[in-house]
Amino acid sequence: MICIAEQEEGRGYRGRRNQLKMKSTRREMEKRSEIGSAIEELSMMVIVKPGEKHESAHIPTKPFVSVCYLVLQVLDKIGPTMAVLRQDVYQNIKTLELMHESNTSVNSNLVEILKSEAKEGNARKGSSCSKALVWLTRTLDFTSSLLQTLAKDPEKRMEQVVEEAYELTLKPWHGWISSAAFRVALRLVPESKTFVNILRTDEENYDTLKEKMQMLVSLFVPFLEDIHCILRLYNLDKIKST
């Protein structure tokens, strides 16, 4: 028969072991950059494009939301310039996250949410999940374009890098108010070297970070192509801001 003291000692040992494990996990997360974490998330994510039967399409909701949160952290490092986008990006992430949490089994697939909103006629109304997915996908397009340019030409002025990425991915869908606000905010971007240094962890040098940026972009390209394919299927690809 095990005495109470032995039971308490066992519980205390397990508690200390769990605390050490949690601290170790936190340290690993702190060492890993947002880009490294995004690479890990994307590497494990599988998107199923629609075949002859549209029902087969699948975008996992929770992993997609996780990637968007990591990208938001990268955009935050650009500074006040991204405040123009940040609030909208965050609200769109929360829209998908809250929908997922309302019924994790039913809403584990973003395509099922798109299908439901299309059937109800709500896809283009208000703060729908369909619109949230469209704008988050475009934000990922923007981030991918920005990192691709920065990896190719680290000496390029950051203002130009951000502007080119914006012109290519977001401006075609923005109204004149959003475009004007973004242009004003461009004056606040940091230098490219400063941004790169903020992105790096203490253990990374520029070459390591460059490799990771290139790897992330190589994962983003097919990932985003698949999502755009699904958005076109539901006639969501031409949505513009009001």
In this prediction, residue 230 carries a pLDDT of 94
CATH match of 33-233 with 1.10.3520.10: yes
Cα–Cα distance for residue pair 28/37, rounded to 1 Å: 10
pTM for the full model? 0.84
In this prediction, residue 52 carries a pLDDT of 54
Structure-token pair, residue 228: 């755009």
Residues 43-80 have pLDDT tens digits of 999 888 776 555 578 999 999 999 999 999 998 888 77
Residues 151-170 have pLDDT tens digits of 999 889 999 999 999 999 99
In this prediction, residue 12 carries a pLDDT of 54
In this prediction, residue 188 carries a pLDDT of 81
The mean pLDDT of 135-161, rounded to a whole number, is 94
Q: Do the Cβ atoms of 229 and 58 come closer than 8 Å?
A: no
What residue segments make up the domains of the chain, in order of their start? Answer: 1-31, 33-233
Query: What share of the chain has pLDDT > 70, as a percent?
Result: 84
